[in-house]
Amino acid sequence: MQKQKEKSAVQWILEWAGRRKSFYIISVALAVLNVAFKIFPYFIIGNVIAKLLLGERDIEFYIIQVVFIAVSFVLSEIFRSISTSCSHKATFAVLAEIRKQCLDKLARVPLGYVKDTSSGTFKNIIVERVDSMETTLAHIIPEFTSNMLVPIAVIIYLFAIDWRIALFSFIPIILGLAATGGMFIGYEENFSNAVARTRELNAAAVEYINGIEVIKAFGKVDGSYEKFMVAARRGADAFIFWMKKCNVYHSLAFILAPYTLLTVLPFGAVFVSSGSLAVSDFVMCIILSLGIVGPILNMMGFTDDLGTISTILGEVTGILTHEELDRPEISESKPANASVSLKNVTFAYHDTEVLHGINMEMKQGSVNALVGPSGSGKSTIAKLIASLWDVTGGSIQIGGVDIRRMALSQYNRMIAYVSQDNYLFNETVRENIRQGRADATDREVEDVAKKSGCYDFIMKLENGFDTVVGGAGGHLSGGERQRISIARAMLKDAPIVILDEATAYTDPENESVIQTSVAKLVSGKTLIVIAHRLSTISDADHIFVISEGRVAEEGDHKSLLSMGGIYKHMWEAHISAKDTVKEERENV
Ligand SMILES: Nc1ncnc2c1ncn2[C@@H]1O[C@H](COP(=O)(O)OP(=O)(O)OP(=O)(O)O)[C@@H](O)[C@H]1O
């Protein structure tokens, strides 16, 4: 598996900003000017008071100073507005890139990572959490930097006036920052607790919505709602507990850090009375100390935002740095044909091994069936061949090439996989089928629908092929969704086709129609079918009987029957079940 090298938050943001990173640089430069022009009037006022003390009576001088102050305010506002607009432009690029990279990434990580994380968590991070960064990120980069840099420049200026005053001005700032540090005591623990509670809340909400059918059918509304409310309460408690712990430090920091006057005023007065500091310089120090109150308060106001941003960045980079399926960017070798071999394959979900040394040989163009009891590992084998997970041990080869030496994009072109889920997108039937091959014409889409046995029912839908099928294909029956999924896979025209329980929803009459159409569609391709109804696969070239994660028996239907093992028992059970159903139907 590939692991990305670690990057700092700033490196991530600059990478996401891409070509727009210069907007951040311009934004910071303009924000510095904005704050500088905000502080400039304090210099002017200091200068005016000094002149007043010296007895300056020229009214023109004072008018010019007033004009300077007005111009400073106007310039400050202009710089602020351009700076904010630049940082917003860069931030929108960053957010778009984060979402793109997260979605790309989810396609490259093992399916297990996606499945093991609740869909509420991914949605929350990629949609809401990233969205909530917009205002903060757009403001924090220019404003935090400028509100920090300008007071530093002012303090340097204070050093030029009187180093003693400058040093004393540091005392409240340092005490304030120390109090800010107090807010971070136990940060990791409180933060993980808050994030975990938020995840619980999201998962409870998504579970409630996804499971609404079962909840209603079984009258579990109160219980499920209670679960959601408990999650909401636990979430609120976690944040309130954290807030309470920070409150005192927060207040202390906001009282101490900005008020450099606390030390500048008494010590300055002592220096003036001892004659070591001129009154005009003292006045300038007082005014500048007042001037930096605003920027320091603004800067500290970002403390929470810095925490929030770093939290969200942590969540996003958690997704982006997750280990990927071990695949090269460009295939290292080309498969000789579309045969599939599993060589001593083992596989574990987390720590539980479910496949123990599977060996299979499926010739190019052959029809292969995987049968066996529920939970024996058939779907897992299909998912490993479809490259949704990586094997834990052994290897899978296509045309003699280990699939880990092939680029995912090339590999995906070779495999068409119809899973048990039959997920359809909230789009038209036509676009759902076209997912199989983006450049297919309408004619090709309709042709494949005819061949897959779904043309007739599609034409009976309200808008035919242009009917929107609803999220996850909700407006269609299970069997209809299944047939559209088959058409979608067939349109892809890949040399290897995997059908996992492809006819599970179908009634026996339709089953044989689908079987015949699928057989025609896949002729010449390597077909791997997983089936519970053994009658649907009795013609297969090769049948693998999977039991408890191992290939227990293999061969064709006839040879397996003659072995008198698991397959024979399954076949007899299947036939007697069919007879029972037939008898029951005849008796009705
Ligand atoms: N995502 C998962 N996480 C953990 N264990 C899993 C996961 N998916 C399947 N399993 C376990 O792996 C084993 C094999 O499951 P698999 O779905 O491959 O069996 P199957 O033969 O296809 O079953 P069925 O015929 O019922 O679909 C089972 O014990 C199952 O509980």
At residue 426 the predicted structure's pLDDT band, cuts being 50, 70 and 90, is confident
Q: What is the percent of the chain where pLDDT is above 90?
A: 23
Q: How far, in Å, CA of 351 to CA of 96, rounded?
A: 37
Choice among 108-112, 150-154, 228-232 with the minimum mean pLDDT: 108-112
Q: Which residue CA neighbors atom 28 of ligand 1 most closely?
A: 375
CB distance 377 to ligand 1 below 6 Å? yes
pLDDT at 71 over 60: yes
83 — pLDDT class (breaks 50, 70, 90): very high
* Mean pLDDT calculated for residue range 56-67: 90
- For residues 529 and 499, the answer to whether their CB atoms sit within 8 Å is yes
412, amino acid identity: N
- The token duo for 177 is 């920052």
What does each C-alpha distance from 99 to 62, 85, 457, 474, 545 come to in angstroms?
55, 21, 37, 26, 43
Q: Determine the Cα–Cα distance for residues 515 and 502; give it in Å rounded to an integer.
A: 9
Query: What pLDDT is stored for residue 391 in this prediction?
Result: 92
Q: Would strands 340-349 and 393-398 be described as parallel, antiparallel, or unpaired?
A: antiparallel
Confidence of residue 398 (pLDDT cuts 50, 70, 90): very high
Q: What is the pLDDT of residue 305?
A: 79
CA of 374 to the centre of ligand 1 (A): 8
Mutate to test the pocket of ligand 1, among 378, 530, 551 (most ligand atoms within 8 A of CB): 378
Which pLDDT band, with edges at 50, 70 and 90, does 3 fall under?
Answer: very low
Name which residue sits closest to atom 25 of ligand 1, judged by CA: 374
pLDDT band at 496 (very low <50, low <70, confident <90, very high): very high
pLDDT tens for 323-343 read 887 788 787 788 889 999 999
Name which residue sits closest to atom 2 of ligand 1, judged by CA: 349
Global ipTM: 0.97
- Judge whether residue 502 has pLDDT over 60: no
Q: With a 6 A CB cut-off, is 115 part of the ligand 1 pocket?
A: yes
Question: In the prediction, which pLDDT does 528 show?
Answer: 92
Q: Which DSSP string corresponds to 380-439?
A: HHHHHHTTSS--SEEEEEETTEEGGGS-HHHHHHHEEEE-SS----SSBHHHHHHTT-TT
Average pLDDT estimate for 80-92: 90
Q: In angstroms, what is the span from residue 378 Cα to ligand 1's centroid?
A: 8
**H or E segment and range at residue 362:** strand 352-362
pLDDT given for residue 39 in this prediction: 85
Task: State which of 115, 379, 534, 546 you would mutate to test the pocket of ligand 1, scoring each by most atoms of that ligand within 8 A of its C-beta.
Answer: 379
pLDDT, averaged across the chain: 84
Q: Is the model's pLDDT at 311 over the cut of 90?
A: no
Percent of the chain at pLDDT above 70? Answer: 91
Structural contact between residues 20 and 95, judged by C-beta atoms closer than 8 angstroms: no
Domains of the chain: 9-197+243-320 (1.20.1560.10), 340-587 (3.40.50.300)
Calculate how far, in angstroms, residue 120's C-alpha sits from the geometric centre of ligand 1: 23
Q: Which of 170-184, 462-476, 552-566 is predicted least confidently?
A: 462-476
Is the per-residue pLDDT at 168 higher than 80?
yes
Distances in whole angstroms, Cα of residue 60 to Cα of each of 64, 66, 67: 6, 10, 11
Contact 480, 461 (CB under 8 A): no
Is the Cα torsion angle 274, 279, 281, 286 positive or negative in sign? positive
Q: Helix (H, G, I), strand (E, B), or coil: what is residue 297?
A: helix
Ligand 1 pocket check for 349: Cβ under 6 Å: yes
114, 329 Cβ separation under 8 angstroms:
no
Higher pLDDT, 59 or 518: 59
- The predicted model gives 225-245 an average pLDDT of 86
**Cα of 500 from ligand 1 centre, angstroms:** 13
Given a cut of 60, is residue 314 above it in pLDDT?
yes
pLDDT of residue 516: 65
Contacts of 301 by beta carbon, 8 Å cutoff, 6+ apart: none
Does ligand 1 lie within 6 Å of residue 354's CB atom? yes
- Quick one: pLDDT at residue 2? 44
Residues with Cβ within 8 Å of residue 173, at least 6 apart in sequence = 256, 257, 260, 296
Highest mean pLDDT among 2-11, 378-387, 421-430, 526-535: 378-387
Decide if pLDDT at 588 tops 80: no
379 pLDDT more than 80:
yes
Cα of 349 to ligand 1 centre, how many Å?
Answer: 9
For ligand 1, is residue 368 a contact (CB within 6 Å)?
no
**Of the ranges 236-240, 399-403, 447-451, 532-536, which one carries the lowest mean pLDDT score?**
532-536
Residue 415's DSSP bridge partners are: 496
**DSSP string covering 220-271:** -HHHHHHHHHHHHHHHHHHHHHHHHHHHHHHHHHHHHTT-THHHHHHHHHHH
pLDDT at position 385 over 60:
yes
Closest atom of ligand 1 to 349 CA is 4
Secondary structure of residue 452 in the 3-state scheme: coil
Angle between helices 145-161 and 21-53 (to 10 degrees): 30
> Does residue 504 have a pLDDT over 70?
no
pLDDT band at 1 (very low <50, low <70, confident <90, very high): very low
- CA dist., res. 250 & res. 238, Å (int): 18
Residue bearing the bigger pLDDT, 345 or 581: 345
* Distance between Cα 382 and ligand 1 center (Å): 11
Angstrom CA distances, 148 to 85, 161, 163, 213, 462, stand at: 20, 21, 20, 55, 63
449 pLDDT more than 50: yes
Top-confidence residue, 534 or 7: 534
DSSP 512-564: HHHHHHHHHHTTTSEEEEE-S-GGGTTT-SEEEEEETTEEEEEE-HHHHHHHT
The whole-number pLDDT of residue 347 equals 95
Residues in the chain: 588
What is the pLDDT, as a whole number, of residue 220? 67
The token pair that represents 286 in the structure block:
């007082």
CA angle 318, 319, 320 (to 5 degrees): 95
Does residue 375 have its Cβ closer than 6 Å to ligand 1? yes
Cα–Cα distance list, 401 to 121, 329, 393, 394, 411 (Å): 37, 16, 16, 13, 11
419 lines ligand 1 (CB under 6 A): no
Q: How would residue 118 be classed by pLDDT, with cut points 50, 70 and 90?
A: low
Token couple for 129: 């959490």
Residues 6+ apart with CB under 8 A from 2: 323, 324, 326
Ligand 1 pocket, mutate which of 116, 345, 354 (most atoms under 8 A from CB) = 354
Tokens of 540: 């297969």
DSSP H stretches of helix in 292-377: 293-320
Q: What is the pLDDT of residue 470?
A: 66
| Residue 293: predicted pLDDT | 82
pLDDT of 312 above 90: no
What is the rounded end-to-end Cα distance, in angstroms, of the chain? 58
Residue 533 CB–ligand 1 contact under 6 Å: no
What is d(CA 301, CA 401) in angstroms, rounded to the nearest whole number?
A: 58
**Which atom of ligand 1 is nearest to 532's Cα?**
25
Half-sphere exposure of 234 (CA within 13 A, CB side): 17
Confidence of residue 104 (pLDDT cuts 50, 70, 90): confident
Mean pLDDT computed over 496-506: 72
What are the strands of the beta sheet with 340-349, ordered from one edge?
Answer: 352-362, 340-349, 393-398, 401-402
pLDDT for the residue numbered 585: 54
Tell me, using a 6 A CB cutoff, whether residue 379 lines ligand 1.
yes
Phi, psi of 514 (to 5 degrees): -65, -45
- The whole-angstrom separation of Cα 38 and Cα 80 is 10
pLDDT at 395: 94
- d(CA 354, ligand 1 centre) in Å: 8
Name the token pair of 317. Answer: 């980079």
Ligand 1 atom 23: the closest Cα is on which residue? 375
d(CA 572, CA 534): 10
pLDDT in tens, 428-437: 899 989 988 8
The contacts of residue 321 (CB under 8 Å, 6+ apart) are 3, 4, 6
CA dihedral (364, 369, 375, 380) in degrees, to 10, reads 20
